[in-house]
Chain A
Amino acid sequence: MGDIITIRQKIATNIGTITGLRTSAELIDNPSPPIALVNLDSVDYHQAFQNGTTILNFTVSVIVGRSAERTMQRKLDAYLTPTGAQSVKAGIESNRSLDGNCDDLVVTSASSIGSVTINDQTYLAAEFQITVYA
């Protein structure tokens, strides 16, 4: 398997195929929406003998824009759609081996769809859960 730093970067690269959506492979203090932030939540070791399979559970937080703007809701809806050029799921799964750095990955769900407050500003956002088999 590839190292986690590379896997994180490759996920960000996949999301980067979505026009107009910035990406960051790591969490940052002052995100500038619309942006997708890649975060590693947990690691499940020993899924096969001799470190043959490790499961990495990532969350990609997509922060769209000011929640009061109607266009932001539409933009978020497009990001949440399972297919299409603006689909975050399709973007992440566009290169499921992450250029050979994992066996496979799948976007399992999207949750926490709603408002988040960052630096006293309220934004629309959603979280995508990714399971990476490496």
Chain B
Amino acid sequence: MAKYVVTGTQVTLNGSDVSSSCARAELVINSAEVDTTDFGSGGWTEVIGGLKSGTVSLDFHSDFGAAAVSALFQTLVGTIGTVTIIAANGTAASATTPEYTAEVLVNSFTPVSGAVGDLSTFSVSFPTSGAVSYATA
């Protein structure tokens, strides 16, 4: 596998491919830091990994066409949705184009956004719920 320029990340929401309306995708997986510093730490802090969490952030071009991305989000606020992201410009999960799947809480949606003359866009950032899976096949 080589380094790559992002051009074709595949993003789906509840099974709908929204890639062509998406201009940025980011999945962050975190682990909480649990402090285990004690008198034996030699003057340094010590930590171990705690609970894991994640965030999915996506930038979209607004589109209210039938089954388009803005219409898709319209009824999802407050619900758990499934987001898949295939990295590295892939269209199917593979060792070099892994697929991440996350349940996310759709906790916000900005249906109207944009200044005069600008392309209308909106950004979302959802916390994950449960494990983020990773598939290579």
Using a CB–CB distance below 8 Å, which chain A residues touch chain B?
A: 46-53, 103-104, 106, 108, 133
Contact = CB atoms under 8 A, between A and B. Distances in A.
Interface string B1-31: 0000011111100000001111101000000
Interface string B58-69: 000101000000
A89 B90 CA distance: 41
Interface of B: 6-11, 19-23, 25, 61, 63, 117, 119
Nearest to B23: A48
A50 B10 contact: yes
B11 A49 contact: yes
Q: Chain B at the A interface: mostly helix, strand, loop or mixed? A: mixed
> 9 tightest CB-CB pairs across the interface, nearest first?
A52-B20, A49-B19, A50-B8, A50-B19, A48-B23, A49-B9, A46-B7, A49-B22, A49-B8
Nearest to B118: A106
A106 B117 contact: yes
Contacts of A104: 119
B86 to A, nearest CB: 10
B61 A49 contact: no
Contacts of A46: 7
